[in-house]
């Protein structure tokens, strides 16, 4: 294991931002990770780099988590427990599960990033979140070097949220994740508008059909980070009160929304941003995606600061126009 100096992180973050790590080490096993953690406590963890905006060089030791492997515990009749190491690519893992006919992750196809970071923001799409199949994870406590197991309830999962974004932020390194998947009688979630439309012609859709539909929808709407740097949804969909919603509806009868509870209405951030005129707009090297306004993009040489500035401009305009605060989903570093 070699600690390298002054390494460019451009290829390690899906936004494709050019910043440097003063010191950088790639770890391939738990033993290597433990060795590093025993000596260095002030570290910066890098997984798939898909949910971060790097705005400056990183002074801390950057640890690139490259732990690989999948283990299957197939002792029960209808379900199977699949453990994937943190450094496995999420989408490849989902495709592998589908190839084994393990159901539960098909709606989460093509989400960028690695397995190890997926629980941190409770990744979700098309009516499914990782919390729905999450069994447990193992994490290394940085201070003590001890391994702790977190079950589903321990993680405090919420919408794009978990304990690892709050109380335990920066305290643990997730080393593997175990999911409880179905072997038969898969519970399909096909209610999301675009999926049901695509599946209309298929009589008894399989998990592969759903995965294919999700991939088609995402490819059509979301930019491929390999072609245009981005971090998926940059903002969270805000939740407003019913009173606030009724007020907005007077001027915007068509406002899309999802009812969360009696007094909580979720509004798509993409719609708010589009209404403010930002969709498809370009500001130097930073921009708002043409097909989905809650995705900010790097057209090439944008700096993290440029993208962040655009995000703040959008936040201000949305606040002024709708009196809604748009929370940022991506980690600003």
Q: Which is nearer to ligand EPU, 24 or 126 (CB)?
A: 126
Contacts of 143 (CB under 8 A, 6+ apart): 41, 171
Tokens 């979301």 found at: 222
* Least distance between ligand EPU and beta carbon 116 (Å): 17
For ligand EPU, which residue of 256, 277, 300, 327 counts as binding (CB under 6 A)?
A: 256
- 295-298 and 229-233 strand pairing: antiparallel
DSSP structure string for 125-170: ETTEEGGGTEEEEEEEETTT--EEEEETGGGT-BTTB-GGGTTTTT
Binding to ligand EPU by residue 164, rule CB under 6 A?
Answer: no
- Residues 212 and 225: their CA atoms lie apart, in Å, by 19
Interface map 117-136 toward ligand EPU (x if CB under 6 A): --------xx----------
Binding region for ligand EPU (CB under 6 A) out of 5-13, 196-204, 230-238, 317-325: 230-238
Which alpha helices (DSSP H) does 222-290 contain, by range? 242-251, 269-275
For ligand EPU, which residue of 47, 113, 205, 270 counts as binding (CB under 6 A)?
A: 270
Q: Which is nearer to ligand EPU, 103 or 232 (CB)?
A: 232
Q: Which is nearer to ligand EPU, 205 or 225 (CB)?
A: 225
Q: Which is nearer to ligand EPU, 29 or 161 (CB)?
A: 161
* Strand ranges for the chain from DSSP E: 4-8, 20-27, 43-46, 52-53, 58-65, 70-73, 79-85, 124-125, 128-129, 134-141, 147-151, 172-182, 229-233, 239-240, 258-261, 264-266, 282-283, 286-288, 295-298, 331-332
Question: Which one of 23, 109, 160, 211 is the catalytic residue?
Answer: 160
For ligand EPU, which residue of 294, 311, 324, 326 counts as binding (CB under 6 A)?
A: 294
* Least distance between ligand EPU and beta carbon 244 (Å): 18
- Residues 117 and 123: their CA atoms lie apart, in Å, by 9
Binding to ligand EPU by residue 277, rule CB under 6 A?
Answer: no
233 carries an active-site annotation: yes
Binding to ligand EPU by residue 239, rule CB under 6 A?
Answer: no
Binding to ligand EPU by residue 292, rule CB under 6 A?
Answer: yes
Binding to ligand EPU by residue 268, rule CB under 6 A?
Answer: yes
193, containing H or E segment: helix 193-199
Binding to ligand EPU by residue 170, rule CB under 6 A?
Answer: no
DSSP three-state, residue 62: strand
- Residues 317 and 281: their CA atoms lie apart, in Å, by 14
329 carries an active-site annotation: yes
Binding to ligand EPU by residue 178, rule CB under 6 A?
Answer: no
**Interface size with ligand EPU, residues (CB under 6 A):** 18
Binding site for ligand EPU (CB under 6 A): 125-126, 221-222, 232-233, 236-237, 256, 268, 270-271, 274, 279, 292-294, 329
Catalytic residues: 160, 233, 329
């Amino acid at each position: 294991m070699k600690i390298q100096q002054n390494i460019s992180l451009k290829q390690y973050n899906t936004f494709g931002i050019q910043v440097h790590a003063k010191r950088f080490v790639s770890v391939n096993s738990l033993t290597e990770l433990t060795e590093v953690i025993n000596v260095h406590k002030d570290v910066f963890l890098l997984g798939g780099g898909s949910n971060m905006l790097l705005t400056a060089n990183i002074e801390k030791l950057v640890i690139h988590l490259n732990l690989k492997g999948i283990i299957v515990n197939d002792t029960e009749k209808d379900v199977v427990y699949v453990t994937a190491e943190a450094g496995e690519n999420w989408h490849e893992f989902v495709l592998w599960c589908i190839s084994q006919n393990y159901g539960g992750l098909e709606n989460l196809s093509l989400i960028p990033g690695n397995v190890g970071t997926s629980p941190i923001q409770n990744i979700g799409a098309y009516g499914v979140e990782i919390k729905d199949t999450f069994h447990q994870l193992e994490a290394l406590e940085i201070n003590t070097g001890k391994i702790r197991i977190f079950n589903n309830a321990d993680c405090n999962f919420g919408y794009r949220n978990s304990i690892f974004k709050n109380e335990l932020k920066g305290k643990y390194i997730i080393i593997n994740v175990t999911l409880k998947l179905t072997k038969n009688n898969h519970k399909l979630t096909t209610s999301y508008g675009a999926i049901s439309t695509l599946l209309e012609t298929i009589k008894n859709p399989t998990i592969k059909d759903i995965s294919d539909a999700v991939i088609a929808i995402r490819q059509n709407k979301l930019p491929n980070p390999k072609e245009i740097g981005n971090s998926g949804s940059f903002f969270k969909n805000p939740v407003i009160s019913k009173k606030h919603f009724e007020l907005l509806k007077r001027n915007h009868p068509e406002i899309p929304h999802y009812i969360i509870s009696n007094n909580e209405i979720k509004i798509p951030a993409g719609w708010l941003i589009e209404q403010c005129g930002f969709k498809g707009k370009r500001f130097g090297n930073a921009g708002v995606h043409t097909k989905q306004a809650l995705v900010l993009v790097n057209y090439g040489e944008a700096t993290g600061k440029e993208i962040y500035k655009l995000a703040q401009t959008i936040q201000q305009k949305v606040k002024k126009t709708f009196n809604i605060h748009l929370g940022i989903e991506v980690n600003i570093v």
